[in-house]
Chains A and B, each alone.
Chain A
Amino acid sequence: MNAFEPTAAATVPTPKPSMVIHAVILGVFCLGFGLILAVTDSITVDDIAARAIEDRQNSLSQVIPDEVHDNNLVADTITITNAHGMEITVFRARKDGRVTGVAYEIYGTGYAGEMKLMMGIAADGRLLGVRVLAHKETPGLGDKIEVKKGDWILRFTGLGLGNPAPERWKVKKDGGEFDQFAGATITPRGVVKAIHGGLEFFAANKTKLLEAN
């Protein structure tokens, strides 16, 4: 018999018992750890949701001062579609039932991608405050937009659509009103543009935002 002639077993390998064992071992480990993860998830899911609401409350309380509202901001929301077809969740501040201000997230384009901000506006259209929630800007340069790293972002409080005039809603380098940072112009430019866009959104939807239903 030719030793080199392939046998049927070599060309069509039948599963050896040991292969089945490997599959069973892997399967049991997957099942076991899957169960552990499912249990952990069900234990932690409520706490994690509660933490997310606390985080939102924290960021809202920074842009809506306590004295302008007596309601729970997180619970009083409406959804409005903006000019770009994006759905914006608006948190409303009320005092004695009347809407005294609104807050919503705005998005800007920085040097390293999208920046997420939260802005609060009083019913008369003045800014109550702006805070950066998330960004990927260069540490030491662009991150001065965070309130933790500098007070640049506080400059916007009290401003509105006509104050300064529309052509002055830019960084100084572009002939506007606001400081850029040494070595970082794109980041503050993006923030200024986002805030101005947020103010325009407020002006465009003012009646809908402020009606007390």
Chain B
Amino acid sequence: MSDYKTIVKDGLWDNNGVLSMLLGMCPAMAMTTSATNGFGMGLATAVVMAASSLLVAIFRSRITQEVRIPVFILIVAAMVTLVDLAMNAWMHELYKVLGLFIPLIVSNCLPLARLEAFAAKQPPVPAFLDGLFMGIGFTVALTGIGAVREIIGNGTLFADASLLLGPAFKAIELRILPADTGVLMMILPPGGFLVTGLMVVVKRMIDLRAGKEIQMGGAHSVA
């Protein structure tokens, strides 16, 4: 069981896709103009990661070393297309908000890195959990970056969350600062770099304080 605990802890904090491994930087900075956007992008990525990790683990003995990369990309792209079609047809309201993000998952290197580093060598259940919790960790990081950028840039938090999650979530749409006081730069691309960088720093400071060894970004992601 401690094995599964490590998978959960790795995904959420120790080996977090964005804050430790510095993977998936494109969506992490481009899609985090608000907390809601970050959350939506993270959620869609988590679904694709869990499904593709499970599939790769099931077929892992059939995929030879030489063709594994094209097969992984094929699996990720197929999962993305399935999610895209199914959401467009049956969850159309959600699709109108998230639809923009879904095709971008193919260009995210985090799913591919986890397939290569984990799912290709592990049985289906741990592989599925790794994909799922790496995805949830990605969601947490993106929501965090989005929240900071949205509060400073626009003065709101979780604006339009009810469009994504349903009317019940109207209550979490907050206005933190008075209207028109935001620092616009934080919503524009420079804000993405600044906030992402600062959050990586904060995470490492917390790890240092806890006496943990700092894991170097990216170095162990393609183990």
Among A26, A29, A40, A55, contact of B82 (Cβ-Cβ < 8 Å): A40
Beyond A25-B63, A182-B180, whether A40 also contacts B86 by CB under 8 A is: yes
- A36 near B85 with CB under 8 A, answer no
The answer for the CA separation of A52 and B42 in the assembled complex, in Å, is 26
- Is B33 part of the contact surface with A, judged by Cβ < 8 Å? yes
Chain B: minimal CB distance from A47 (Å): 4
- Is A8 part of the contact surface with B, judged by Cβ < 8 Å? no
- A37 near B78 with CB under 8 A, answer yes
- Is B154 part of the contact surface with A, judged by Cβ < 8 Å? yes
The answer for the CA separation of A203 and B108 in the assembled complex, in Å, is 49
- B85 near A33 with CB under 8 A, answer no
- Is B187 part of the contact surface with A, judged by Cβ < 8 Å? yes
Find residues 6-63 in chain A having any chain B CB closer than 8 Å to their own CB.
18, 21-23, 25-26, 29-30, 33, 36-37, 40-41, 43-44, 47-48, 51, 54-55
Interface string of B162-193 (1 = CB under 8 A from A): 00000000000000000010101001100000
The answer for the CA separation of A23 and B88 in the assembled complex, in Å, is 34
Classify the interface of chain A: helix, strand, loop or mixed: helix
Interface size on B, residues (CB 8 A): 29
Interface size on A, residues (CB 8 A): 26
Chain B: minimal CB distance from A45 (Å): 8
Interface string of A174-210 (1 = CB under 8 A from B): 0000000011000000000000000000000000000
- Is B144 part of the contact surface with A, judged by Cβ < 8 Å? no
- B89 near A51 with CB under 8 A, answer yes
- B: residues with CB less than 8 A from A are 33-34, 59, 62-64, 66-67, 70-71, 74-75, 78, 81-82, 85-86, 88-90, 92, 96, 153-154, 180, 182, 184, 187-188
Q: 9 closest A-B pairs (Cβ-Cβ)?
A: A47-B89, A44-B89, A33-B78, A51-B92, A26-B67, A44-B85, A22-B67, A22-B66, A48-B89
